[in-house]
Amino acid sequence: MEFYVPTLNSLEAADDLKKTILTSEPDAQVEVDSQAKKVTVKSEASAETFKQLIVAAGHEIA
């Protein structure tokens, strides 16, 4: 799953978002690219789960 997150504007924001996702879904494989503003997730959980986590962390999904 890939999500475009235009509010990812720093490495710190990327790290924080990755930690937030992994706290809720520890088995997920998560890559966050702050320059491309892209979050890539490999997981058994639904895309909706990750959308909710990204928004709950204070980000927007385009």
Please report, for the domain that includes residue 31, its CATH number. 3.30.70.100
Residue 22: give the domain boundaries. 2-56
pTM, to two decimals = 0.92
Mean pLDDT by 10 residues, the chain (62 residues): 96 96 96 96 96 96 96
Question: How many residues are recorded in the chain?
Answer: 62
Half-sphere exposure of 5 (CA within 13 A, CB side): 32
Distance of CA 5 to the CA centre of its chain: 8
The strand pair at 29-33 and 38-42 is best described as antiparallel
Task: Judge whether 24 lies within some domain.
Answer: yes
Tally of domains within the chain: 1
According to the model, what pLDDT value does residue 2 have?
A: 97
Task: Judge whether 61 lies within some domain.
Answer: no
